[in-house]
Amino acid sequence: MKKAAAVIVAIVLAALAAFVVYDATLNKTVSESFFAMNTLVSAEVTGISAKEDCTEIEKIVSLLDTETLSRTAEGSEIFRLNKNGGGEIGEKTAEYFSLLTDVCEKSGGAFDFTLGGVSDLWKFGSNPEIPNENALADALLHSGYKKVFLDGNTVSVSDSLVIDFGAAGKGIALDEIKNHLEASKAKRAVVAVGGSVLLYGEGDFTVGIRNPEGNSGSYLAKLKTDACCVSTSGSYEQSFEENGRIYHHILDPKTGYPADNEVLSVTIVSDSGLLSDALSTACFVLGVEKGFELAEEYGARAVFVTKDKKIIARNNIEDIIEITNEDYTLVIQ
Ligand code: AMP
Ligand code: MG
């Protein structure tokens, strides 16, 4: 009897040892970074097919850009819509369209994906400059999400405007990457597409909120969360200074000029990449009070960094935030 028990124990131990070796060999962690969507993408994946997952992530982001979302890649769906003043789009793109239209509506137009013509005049990404006033007024006149209609998979546009999903593209990429990781049974992953981060899988994650007035490695606070998407929109991402004023790329659709309020950055925590990205842009334009209202309408959490060195959040974030820069004060509203 004793011998039989010893044999069973030995078999169990051998099986466990084999599992540990098996697991250790199969669950690899692989990191990679590359450029796509005009930004740096970095991925760290743990799982049995981590290497293939990283390759697939690069493909997903690059193709999403060149075949669907890019305004400049000839042949992308958005490029064709803009060129032809409407047309057919794929099922997934139609879904993004209606989700983003909802953000336009719920934000009262603070988020508007038809500002491409206005953005172009500011030339962010090349040689930014203050646009000619008349040209800006004209481009603004030819914008407005209410002039774009989606019927099934067909988009029609009642004006010559330029559709731009730039405020949500990185978040959309996170959702597509998440779908892939679920299908490939990855264990854990952290994928950053510019200022939008996917935290995927088991355990806790720590993500930093960048110091809007510091360099790219400088952080103000840490958020400790489980799996989710975290996007930050900040005026520091693309800006220039002229005559002592700072001009940045997040525009107020009412004026065509950079949104000018108390906000330096907004971080949104949401289960959806698309929403985290779109809402971070929308909440930047709306400012603290209305921004919180919008985020909460979507069940998302928001953290605002303001010009008077406050980090403003609601109590839904109090338990997961840690301030790491003593020049800033946490205010729970
Ligand atoms: P993000 O960095 O995600 O906040 O997105 C900023 C980008 O969104 C800009 O570079 C523009 O292409 C576009 N954009 C600027 N202002 C708005 C706005 N009010 N609503 C929607 N998209 C915008
Ligand atoms: Mg955004």
pLDDT at 216 (0 to 100)? 83
Calculate how far, in angstroms, residue 108's C-alpha sits from the geometric centre of ligand 2: 16
With 90 as the cut, is the pLDDT of residue 9 above it?
no
pLDDT at 25 (0 to 100)? 57
Only one residue has tokens 């030339």, namely 123
Compute the distance between CA of residue 302 and CA of residue 311 in angstroms, rounded to an integer.
Answer: 10
Pocket of ligand 1 (CB under 6 A): 111-113, 115, 119, 164, 166-167, 233, 237, 249-251, 253, 277, 280-281, 285
Compute the distance between CA of residue 125 and CA of residue 148 in angstroms, rounded to an integer.
Answer: 26
Residue nearest to atom 6 of ligand 1 (CA): 167
Whether the CB-CB separation of 30 and 50 falls below 8 Å is answered with yes
Nearest ligand 1 atom to alpha carbon 233: 4
Of 69, 251, 280, the residue with max ligand 1 atoms within 8 A of its CB, to mutate for a pocket test, comes to: 251
| 158-167, 172-181, 214-223, 248-257: the lowest-pLDDT one | 214-223
Give the model's confidence band at 13: pLDDT under 50 very low, under 70 low, under 90 confident, else very high.
Answer: very low
**How many CA within 13 A on the CB side of residue 12?**
6
pLDDT at 31 (0 to 100)? 98
pLDDT at 6 (0 to 100)? 54
Helix extents (H) in 27-76: 50-63
pLDDT at 24 (0 to 100)? 56
Rounded mean pLDDT, 296-308: 98
Q: Which ligand is nearest to the CA of 284?
A: 1
Residue nearest to atom 2 of ligand 1 (CA): 233
Q: What is the mean pLDDT of the chain?
A: 93
pLDDT at 18 (0 to 100)? 44
pLDDT in tens, 180-213: 999 999 999 999 999 999 999 999 999 999 999 8
Calculate how far, in angstroms, residue 75's C-alpha sits from the geometric centre of ligand 2: 24
With 90 as the cut, is the pLDDT of residue 2 above it?
no
Whether the CB-CB separation of 325 and 220 falls below 8 Å is answered with yes
Give the model's confidence band at 23: pLDDT under 50 very low, under 70 low, under 90 confident, else very high.
Answer: low
Compute the distance between CA of residue 11 and CA of residue 17 in angstroms, rounded to an integer.
Answer: 10
pLDDT at 306 (0 to 100)? 98
pLDDT in tens, 82-105: 999 999 999 999 999 999 999 999
Calculate how far, in angstroms, residue 165's C-alpha sits from the geometric centre of ligand 1: 8
pLDDT at 109 (0 to 100)? 98
Compute the distance between CA of residue 288 and CA of residue 268 in angstroms, rounded to an integer.
Answer: 12
Which helix (H) or strand (E) segment holds residue 289: the answer is helix 288-297
Calculate how far, in angstroms, residue 82's C-alpha sits from the geometric centre of ligand 1: 17
Q: Give the contacts of 97 (CB within 8 A, at least 6 positions apart).
A: 89, 150, 155
Of 281, 285, 290, the residue with max ligand 1 atoms within 8 A of its CB, to mutate for a pocket test, comes to: 281
Residue 71 CA from chain centroid, whole number: 17
| 8-12, 108-112, 268-272, 303-307: the lowest-pLDDT one | 8-12
Of 37, 97, 115, the residue with max ligand 1 atoms within 8 A of its CB, to mutate for a pocket test, comes to: 115
Residue 49: count other Cβ atoms within 10 Å of its Cβ.
Answer: 18
Residue nearest to atom 18 of ligand 1 (CA): 111
Calculate how far, in angstroms, residue 166's C-alpha sits from the geometric centre of ligand 1: 6
pLDDT at 150 (0 to 100)? 97
Compute the distance between CA of residue 227 and CA of residue 201 in angstroms, rounded to an integer.
Answer: 6
Calculate how far, in angstroms, residue 23's C-alpha sits from the geometric centre of ligand 2: 38
pLDDT at 125 (0 to 100)? 84
Q: Which ligand is nearest to the CA of 110?
A: 1
With 90 as the cut, is the pLDDT of residue 135 above it?
yes
Nearest ligand 1 atom to alpha carbon 237: 2
Calculate how far, in angstroms, residue 214's C-alpha sits from the geometric centre of ligand 1: 22
Calculate how far, in angstroms, residue 147's C-alpha sits from the geometric centre of ligand 2: 22
Give the model's confidence band at 259: pLDDT under 50 very low, under 70 low, under 90 confident, else very high.
Answer: very high
Q: Give the contacts of 31 (CB within 8 A, at least 6 positions apart).
A: 42, 43, 44, 45, 54
Give the model's confidence band at 22: pLDDT under 50 very low, under 70 low, under 90 confident, else very high.
Answer: very low
Please return the burial class of 294, using the count of CB atoms within 10 Å of its CB with bins 0-12, 13-18 and 19+.
Answer: buried
Nearest ligand 1 atom to alpha carbon 169: 3
Give the model's confidence band at 4: pLDDT under 50 very low, under 70 low, under 90 confident, else very high.
Answer: low
pLDDT at 223 (0 to 100)? 98
